[in-house]
Amino acid sequence: MKKLSVTLLASLSTLWCLAQVSIIPEPLKLTQGSGTFSLHDQVQLVAVSADELQSARYFSDYLKKHYNLSIQIVEKVGTDPAILFSVVEKETPSVTGEYELTIDTKLIVLNGFNPQGLFYAVQSLIQLIPAKGHWKLEIPAIYIYDKPAFSYRGMHFDVVRHIFPVEYIKKFIDYLALHKMNYFHWHLTDDQGWRIESAKYPKLNTIGAYREATIIGMFPGTGVDSTRYGGFYTVKELREVVDYAKARYITVIPEADIPAHCMAAISAYPQLSTAPDTLRRPASTWGIFNRQNNVLSPNKYTFKFLEDIFDELCDIFHDSPYIHFGADEASTMWWKESAESQEFMKQNNMTDEGEIQDYLVRLVVNTINNKGKIAVGWDEITRDPKLSGDVVVMNWRGQRGGNEAANKGYKVIMTPSRYSYLNSSQRPDEELVLPRRVTTLDTVYLFNPVPKALSPQAAENIIGGQGCMWTEYYPTISKVEYALFPRLSAIAENYWSGQGRKDLTKFKQKLSKQFDLYDLWGANYCNYVVDIGDVKRLLSTPNYLPSKSY
Ligand code: ACM
C-alpha cells in the first residue's frame, strides 16, 4: 500500500513536471528528464567567445529585469551549478537557428550550432523558468533539439498612422526575439506622415512628418480633431534601433512606400505630384485609395527623389539585405487625369497607366539592387511581366497571389491579410477595427503557408511569413498589444514550428503559461481564446462582456 502511494506520488510529480513544460514556438524534439535545476544567484553563467557572451548577457539582463536576479558571467566552470553557453560548429552545414538545450539538475548546456541557434536556446530556456510566483525558480530537466521550419519569421509595424517612441520600438523587438522571430518590417512612410529623417529632403520632416488633424471614429469618420500630430525618427535613432535588433539577431527592414501612399512626400515637395498646384497636407484620414491624389508623377524630379531616398535608406539600414518599397494600391486614375503623365506615356510608348507604376517600380528595384540589396514589394509588383532583378513579394491581397508569385519564381514572404493582419478584432463582440473583419486566434494559427498543391520548386520559394500591425485604430501601446497577443505567438509557431509540429489544442493549453509570460513582460493581451464555433455563438449574444479590455 505504502509502495503504491509512493509510486503514485512519483508519477503525479512527473505529471506535474510534464504539465510545466510549455514552449512557444513548439520545438522539434523535446524529452523530459527527472528533477529540476534550481536557478539562484550562486549559479554561474559560462561564456567565452563574443557570440557566447552576447547570448549570456541577454540572459543575465533578462533575469535581472524580470526576476531581479543578478548572476555572474565567468569564463571557466568553477563549481556547479552552472549554465554553459556555447557555439559549436557542426561538421555538416547547420540550419541558421539550430540548437540543443540540455537541462540537468546541476548543469544547463546551451549548444547553438551557430550564434543565432545559441540565442534561440536562450529563448527556450527563458520559457522554462516559472513566470509567476517565482520565489523559487525551478527549471525542469529536459532535452530539446530544435530548428526553424522557415528562414523568414517576422512582424511588421506601422508607425505612420500612429507613431511610437524608440523605447517602445525596442520593446516590440524584444517580443519578436522572445518568439524566435528574425525580421522586423518597419513601415515608416505613408500618406499621413514621413517618419525617416532625410538630409537631402529636409521638408519631409518639417512638413511631411506632421498632419494637422486626425479623423474621429471609424472611416469615413464623424469629422476630424484639431490636433497637430506626428514626428519622425532621426538617423541616430533609426541606427540605434538597428543595433538593438542586431544584438537580438533581428534584421530591420525599412519600408518607404511608393509610388502611391505618398501624400506626405507630395505635401513637402509638390514637384512630385501629378497636380503640383493643388495645396496639400499629409492625410488626416485613413483609407484614401482613389479619394485623394497620393501618387508620384513620372517626371525627372521624382526619378531623382526616388534614387536619393532609397540611397539614403540603403545607407541607414546598411545591415539589412532587404529594403521594402511598398508599391501597393496605386490608383491609376491620377495618372489618367494628368497631362504630364499622359505625355510621359506617349514618349515611352505606354498604352496603360499601370505601366507608369511598373516604370517607377523598376527604377527603385534597380536603385536598391545597385546598392547590393534585395527589393521587397507588396504583391502589386507581380503585374509587371518584365520585372527583373532581386525582388521578393509580400502577398497582402491573398494566399493565391503568393502562390502565383512563387510559381513564377519569386521568393515570397507570406502576408495574406486574412491570416496575417492583426489590426482586426479577435472576437466578434469587440468594436470592429477593420469593418466586418474578425480574425480569431484559430484563423491565424490554422493558416498553412505552403499548401500541398504547390510544386516543390514553388514551395521552396516561400521563405516564410509575418504578421502585420497597421495602426489606424491603434493609437496606444496597450491597444497595439491587445491586438498582437496572443496572435503573434500563433504566427511564431506557424513559421518556426511549421505545419508538421502545429497542434491547436496543445497551443491553447500552452497559452495559460504564455499569459503568465505576457504578464511578466508587462504586455497587454486578449485573454479570451475563442474558436470559430464560438464566434458564431457569440455573434448571437451581443451583450457578451469582454473579460479584459483594451
Ligand atoms: C496593404 O495593406 N495595402 C499592403
342 located within any domain: yes
At 251-289, the pLDDT tens digits run 999 999 999 999 999 999 999 999 999 988 999 999 877
For residue 13, pLDDT over 80 is answered with: no
Alpha helix ranges (H) inside 386-486: 399-408, 417-420, 441-446, 456-461, 477-484
**205 CA to middle of ligand 1, Å?**
23
pLDDT band at 530 (very low <50, low <70, confident <90, very high): low
Distance between CA atoms of 322 and 318, rounded to whole angstroms? 9
Q: Are 37 and 104 in contact (CB under 8 A)?
A: yes
Residue 212 shares a structural domain with residue 139 = no
Better-scored residue on pLDDT, 81 or 537: 81
Distance CA 300, CA 269 (A): 13
pLDDT band at residue 432 under the 50/70/90 scheme: low
Judge if the beta carbon of residue 396 lies within 6 A of ligand 1.
yes
Q: Are residues 157 and 112 in the same domain?
A: no
104 and 248 in a single domain? The answer is no
In this prediction, residues 139-145 reach a mean pLDDT of 98
- What is the reported pLDDT for 383? 96
Domain boundary among 86, 121, 146: 146
Give yes or no: residues 81 and 207 share one domain.
no
Residues 88, 92, 97, 100, CA torsion sign = negative
Q: Has residue 350 been placed in a domain?
A: yes
pLDDT, tens digit, 9 for 90 and up, residues 374-420: 999 999 999 999 999 999 999 999 999 999 999 999 999 999 999 99
Q: Which domain holds residue 457?
A: 152-499
Q: What is the mean pLDDT of residues 505-512?
A: 92
Instruction: State yes or no: pLDDT of 550 exceeds 70.
Output: no
Residue 471 belongs to a domain: yes
Cα 235 to middle of ligand 1, angstroms: 26
Query: How much of the chain, in percent, has pLDDT values that exceed 70?
Result: 92
Order of all β-strands in the sheet with 137-146: 29-39, 137-146, 99-103, 107-112, 82-87, 44-46, 73-74
* Axis-axis angle for helices 166-178, 504-521 (nearest 10): 140
Residue-wise pLDDT tens digits, 53-109: 999 999 999 999 999 999 999 999 888 899 999 999 888 888 999 999 999 999 999
State the alpha helices, DSSP H only, in 324-465.
333-337, 339-347, 354-370, 399-408, 417-420, 441-446, 456-461
379 CA distance to ligand 1 centroid (A)?
Answer: 9
> 301-352, pLDDT tens digit by residue?
999 999 999 999 999 999 999 999 999 999 999 999 999 999 999 999 999 9
Indicate whether 173 and 287 sit together in one domain.
yes
Whether residues 288 and 430 share a domain: the answer is: yes
| 327 and 380 both lie in a single domain | yes
Q: What pLDDT score does 92 carry?
A: 85
- Which CATH number characterizes residue 220's domain? 3.20.20.80
Q: How far apart are CA 250 and CA 387, in angstroms?
A: 29
190 is an active site residue? yes
**Best substitution site from 378, 434, 439 to test ligand 1's pocket, by max atoms within 8 Å of Cβ?**
378
Asked whether 286 lines ligand 1 (CB < 6 A), one says no
Other beta carbons within 10 angstroms of residue 87's beta carbon come to: 23
Residue 543 banded pLDDT, cuts 50, 70, 90 = very low
- Work out the average pLDDT over 117-133: 96
Please state the atom number of ligand 1 nearest to the C-alpha of residue 378: 4
Whether residue 446 is contained in a domain is answered as yes
Burial class (CB in 10 A: 0-12, 13-18, 19+), 385: exposed
- Give all strands (DSSP E) within 160-243, no chain letters: 183-187, 189-190, 193-194, 210-211, 229-230
Q: How far apart are CA 48 and CA 50, in angstroms?
A: 7
Tens-place pLDDT, residues 452-466 = 999 999 999 999 999
| pLDDT at position 485 over 60 | yes
Q: Ligand 1 within 6 A of 531 CB?
A: no
C-alpha cell at 442: 484559430
Which atom of ligand 1 sits closest to the CA of residue 261? 3
- Ligand 1 neighbour 447 (Cβ under 6 A): no
Contact 422, 488 (CB under 8 A): yes
Name the residue of 328, 397, 421 to mutate for ligand 1: max ligand atoms within 8 A of Cβ.
328
User: Residues 258, 261, 263, 266: what is their CA dihedral angle, to the nearest 10 degrees?
Assistant: 10
Residue 152 has pLDDT above 50, yes or no: yes
Cell 519600408 sits on residue: 255
The pLDDT of residue 517 is above 80 = yes
State the closest ligand 1 atom to the C-alpha of 421, by its place in the atom list counted from 1.
Answer: 2
Q: Which helix (H) or strand (E) holds 19?
A: helix 2-20
Q: Is 324 considered catalytic here?
A: no
- pLDDT tens profile 178-226: 999 999 999 999 999 999 999 999 999 999 999 999 999 988 899 999 9
Question: Is residue 378 in contact with ligand 1, taking CB distance under 6 Å?
Answer: yes
Q: Tell me what pLDDT residue 544 has.
A: 39
**Hey, what's the cell of 305?**
527623389
- Do β-strands 152-158 and 99-103 pair in parallel, antiparallel, or remain unpaired? unpaired
Which residue, by CA, sits nearest to atom 2 of ligand 1?
396
Neighbour count for residue 535 (Cβ, 10 Å): 18
- Same structural domain for residues 79 and 221? no
HSE of 317, CA atoms in CB hemisphere, 13 A: 32
Best substitution site from 188, 289, 396, 437 to test ligand 1's pocket, by max atoms within 8 Å of Cβ? Answer: 396
Q: Which one has a higher pLDDT value, 391 or 533?
A: 391
| Same domain (yes/no): 172, 277 | yes
Residue 534 is a catalytic residue: no
Instruction: Tell me the three cell numbers of residue 244.
Output: 538593438
8 Å CB contact between 300 and 313: no
- For the segment 44-54, the average pLDDT, to the nearest whole number, is 98
Does residue 3 register a pLDDT over 80? no
CA dist 183 and 329 (Å) reads 24
Within this chain, do residues 97 and 172 fall inside the same structural domain, yes or no?
no
Look at residue 548 in the predicted model and tell me its pLDDT: 41
Entry pTM:
0.94
Kindly state the DSSP code that residue 381 receives in the 8-state scheme: G
Residue 368 pLDDT more than 60? Answer: yes
Ligand 1 centroid–CA 328 distance in Å is 6
pLDDT for res 439: 92
Is the CB of 329 within 6 Å of ligand 1? yes
Residue 98 counted as domain residue: yes
> Could you give the 3-state DSSP secondary structure of residue 448?
coil
Q: What's the pLDDT at 428?
A: 73
- Residue 77 has what pLDDT? 83
Q: Are 422 and 468 in contact (CB under 8 A)?
A: yes
Is residue 17 in a domain?
no
What is the C-alpha to C-alpha distance for residues 64 and 316, in angstroms, rounded to an integer? 32
Helix, strand, or coil (residue 535) = helix
Going by C-alpha positions, the residue among 203, 141, 148 that lies closest to residue 179 is: 148
Pocket flag, ligand 1, residue 379 (CB < 6 Å): no
Does a structural domain hold residue 506? no
pLDDT at 529: 67
Report the CATH number that the domain containing residue 119 is assigned in CATH. 3.30.379.10
Are 162 and 126 within one domain?
no
Packed helices 115-128 and 166-178: angle between N→C axes, nearest 10 degrees? 90
- With H, G, I as helix, E, B as strand and everything else as coil, classify residue 216: coil
Q: Half-sphere exposure (CA, 13 Å, Cβ side) for 441?
A: 25
**Mean pLDDT value across residues 125-151:** 95
Per the domain annotation, does 509 fall within a domain? no
Residues 113 and 183 reside in one and the same domain: no
Find the catalytic residue in 100, 261, 380, 493: 261
What spacing in Å lies between the alpha carbon of 326 and ligand 1's midpoint? 8
Question: What domain count does the chain have?
Answer: 2
Closest to 475 (Cα-Cα) out of 190, 204, 215, 240: 215
The alpha carbons of the chain give a radius of gyration, in whole angstroms, of 25
3-state secondary structure of 545: coil
With H, G, I as helix, E, B as strand and everything else as coil, classify residue 134.
Answer: coil
Mean pLDDT of all residues belonging to the chain: 92
